[in-house]
Amino acid sequence: MANSLFFIKYNLVFLLIYLWHSVNGHPQCLDSRPPFQSHGSLSFCTDYEDFGCCTRSDDEVLRNRYRRIESVVSTTLWEACSHYAKTFLCQTCSPYAAHIFDSEQSHNSTEVVQRVFPGLCRDQCSTFYQQCKELITPYMEEVKNEDTLEEQIRLENAYRHSESSFCSAILLSDNDYCYPELLTNPILNGNISIEKVTGEGCICLQPFEAQFRNPVFLKHTNDGTDRLFIGEQIGLVHIMYTNGTLLPYPFLDIQYDIMTTQAKGDERGLLGMEFHPNFTSNGKLYIYYSTHLNEYEVSQNFGDHKIRIEELRVNLDFPDEIDVYYSRVILEVYQPWWNHNGGELLFGDDGYLYIFIGDGGRAGDPLNSGQDMFSMLGKVHRIDVNKIDPVRKKEYSIPPDNPFADGIKGLPEIYAFGVRNIWRCGKDRGDRLTKHGKGRIVCGDVGQGAVEEINLLKKGANYGWKLKEGTSVFCSTCQQALREIPLTEPIWDYPHAVGKSVTGGHFYRGCESPNFNGFYFYGDFMSGRIFRLTEPKNPKQKRWDNKEINMCGSNMCKPPFISDYSTSIISFGEDEAGEIYMLSTSYPSATSYSGSVYKLVDPSRRGNPDACKNVEIPTTSTTIPTTTSTSIKTETTTPFKPVFPTKPVVRDNSGSSVTIAPFDKRLMNYLDYYKKHRRRNNRRNFQTQFKQENRRQQWKGRTYATTPPTKYVKDSRQKTISKTPRKDAISKPPQLIFHGINIQRCKNDRCSLRKIMPQK
């Protein structure tokens, strides 16, 4: 018996040491933050010293608890069951602690309280109950707190009743995370076997050789250049052509501004990008990213970080680069916690920018952001970036037909609400012949502990979070609200037995795979499964038709096509012709070159090659609101007309053009790269100088309109007039927009006054 117990414990330790390094699931600590490397500082819960949720002080607290439990139980019981006490205590250090203790399960209408007894798998629970059930009471007495008295009473009553009652009481809402089977669960450990079925409806993939670090989006400019813009979470955007050619230098590099880490599961970083509908004439694009708080915001405890929506412009001389001298911050939203950041940007057919923002983080939406109509979190916003609002002093204006445009019953930016964490949306360009479906937007909204959902975006819609999670009730004590508030049901949802983190996709409207026409392809980040939705033929039917997509066998997926892929599906994208691409990774870290790009292909039928070569790229038929006197856009006399090379080229040190190979292993043109970033740093340095100079001018009486005036106070004792600034005069510097550049954005780096000051 002793030998068998030693063998079991030895194997568990081996699995822990091995699997925490290869885990590809959704790791999360009890504080809703990602795990970290403690670098061997743990002496008690040593299984998690390389990757887990405990610091050295946490580890010491658990050791003391272990000793106190030992002091109150018999020697015989402790010799037989001490390993259970240590295992249960140390699960708080597990990378999956939030799931093992069910902290993502709703317990009441206002907050989520995690359990203190870990969720055990049925066999493990049965063995523990038969051998060591007397350990339950001293264990619960040690770990209990004022929030877990109910759990303590419930478990003690259950274990006194029967084994079945006890094991049912500790059952998790998502049993894939039960201990110890989570150590070998294929979904959580990246060992997902891709089912290959040679039959009707199966697909193949065309891989691209380039590797990326967590590729989060794939966009195109709709300008006939066949360029694909692939964004990495770490803050880089690369240009790859549809033939696989990758340019050696990045299109955009904002790593300096990005807030993220190398931890698996960190949801911060560069999250979205969208080109202006009139990009071919104005060269503008918009990015969505997580950035650091400044010193003032940190001192006021504004949150973990902030989301920034920023306008950029392409370089007039080199259209494969960003103009580093131009930027305009459109919007900033404070994020109280690190996760649920949303990240999608889309221009609708109405010409307005749609912004998809998550509920702010943690579990159970503790701020009730989804239903708070005066919070920017948990919403879909629609704004007009072509005009400023001088009354509200915003860098955008409000479309007049927004549901709350008057700002009385909610923020005027809100277009839809009640969302948790929308991750990826697709806008339908419409059927090639009938244009049916044109302009509709379908999104994937990541669920919490039970359901993942797909929503069709509608104006003024309330998708229910946190009253409901998909079609299931989340808030069990909100029955009156559920009866009184009209909610919009998802067009599809699925339980966590199918997948645990939906990745929204795109409608296929390409030419090369006619059988795909009208399919909305989407996937699941955790399970690695790919699905397709089709609109029902009956317009009264609200639920769309869903089907899982299988990979074809090797007899159909012949080179260059394949039937295997990295199963952590991050995003989908489309090119100018409407072909669909999937972005996934085998190791979800912002610093790991494990991300790949695949093109979805139908091996059973293809479009006419001649017709597909001559396919007309649909132009954006949006009506952009007319620019008025309040427009921020200052047009130059020469319109933006970039000249694109017919073949991808780079410049050598002498300035001459050199055609690059189909794939160059990302060899960097270091001279160009250095020059570009030197220009950017110079700009920031001079912008900082410009800010400091104007702050000095404020005290001399030459202030901006937004600077609070000084007031003069008479000192009766000295009989003199002293000039005393108001207390709020320096509490927060004004947001300065000068010649299209946000001066406030530059904090510690250099910016060029020569570029931003008007020339006489």
209/98 same-domain check: no
- Give strand pairing partners of 417: 379, 462
Residue 620 near residue 250, CB atoms below 8 Å: no
| Any domain includes 194 | no
User: What distance in Å separates the CA atoms of residue 399 and residue 322, rounded to the nearest whole number?
Assistant: 29
174/262 same-domain check: no
Chain centroid to Cα 554, Å, comes to 34
Place of tokens 């590797």: 211
Query: 705-744 b/e with 16+ CB inside 10 Å = b?
Result: eebeeeeeeeeeeeeeeeeeeeeebeeebbebbbeebbbb
| Any domain includes 647 | no
Nearest to 577 by CA among 520, 623, 643, 517: 517
Q: Which residues of the chain carry a pLDDT beneath 50?
A: 1-23, 106-110, 620-671, 702-760
Domain ranges, residue 725: 671-756
DSSP string, 262-275: SSTT---SEEEEEE
pTM greater than the 0.85 cutoff: no
The last residue of a domain, from among 148, 183, 218: 183
Residue 744 is given by DSSP the state G
The last residue of a domain, from among 567, 587, 613: 613
| Any domain includes 655 | no
| Any domain includes 333 | yes
| Any domain includes 425 | yes
| Any domain includes 56 | yes
User: Could you read off the pLDDT of 686-716 as tens digits, one per residue?
Assistant: 666 766 666 666 555 544 344 444 433 334 4
| Any domain includes 117 | yes
CATH of the domain at 383: 2.120.10.30
User: What distance in Å separates the CA atoms of residue 414 and residue 381, rounded to the nearest whole number?
Assistant: 4
Residue 152 near residue 138, CB atoms below 8 Å: no
User: What distance in Å separates the CA atoms of residue 579 and residue 242, rounded to the nearest whole number?
Assistant: 10
Reading phi first (left if > 0) and then psi (alpha if -120 to 50, else beta), residue 393 is in: left
168/245 same-domain check: no
User: Could you read off the pLDDT of 621-638 as tens digits, one per residue?
Assistant: 444 443 333 333 333 334
User: What distance in Å separates the CA atoms of residue 153 and residue 179, rounded to the nearest whole number?
Assistant: 22
153/214 same-domain check: no
User: Is residue 424 helix, strand or coil?
Assistant: strand
Q: Is the dihedral of CA 371, 375, 380, 382 positive or negative?
A: positive
Q: What is the pLDDT of residue 186?
A: 72
User: What distance in Å separates the CA atoms of residue 443 and residue 424, rounded to the nearest whole number?
Assistant: 6
179/208 same-domain check: no
Strands (E), 468-540: 468-469, 472-473, 492-495, 502-507, 520-524, 530-534
Report the number of distinct structural domains present in the chain: 3
Q: Is the dihedral of CA 208, 211, 216, 220 positive or negative?
A: negative
Q: What is the pLDDT of residue 735?
A: 42
Q: What is the pLDDT of residue 275?
A: 97
The last residue of a domain, from among 593, 613, 633: 613
431/484 same-domain check: yes
Entry field: residues in the chain: 760
92/239 same-domain check: no
376/314 same-domain check: yes
Residue 313 near residue 660, CB atoms below 8 Å: no
User: What distance in Å separates the CA atoms of residue 401 and residue 396, rounded to the nearest whole number?
Assistant: 15
| Any domain includes 449 | yes
337/389 same-domain check: yes
* Cα separation values, 614 from 226, 435, 608, 610, Å: 13, 19, 10, 6
175/216 same-domain check: no
260/387 same-domain check: yes
Residue 343 is given by DSSP the state -
Mean pLDDT of the chain: 80
115/246 same-domain check: no
Q: What is the pLDDT of residue 747?
A: 43
DSSP string, 1-45: -HHHHHHHHHHHHHHHHHHTTT--S----TTSS--B--TT--SSS
Both tokens of 594, joined, read 């494990």
User: What distance in Å separates the CA atoms of residue 307 and residue 357, rounded to the nearest whole number?
Assistant: 9
DSSP string, 254-312: -TTT----SSTT---SEEEEEE-TTHHHH-EEEEEEEE---HHHHHTT--SEEEEEEEE
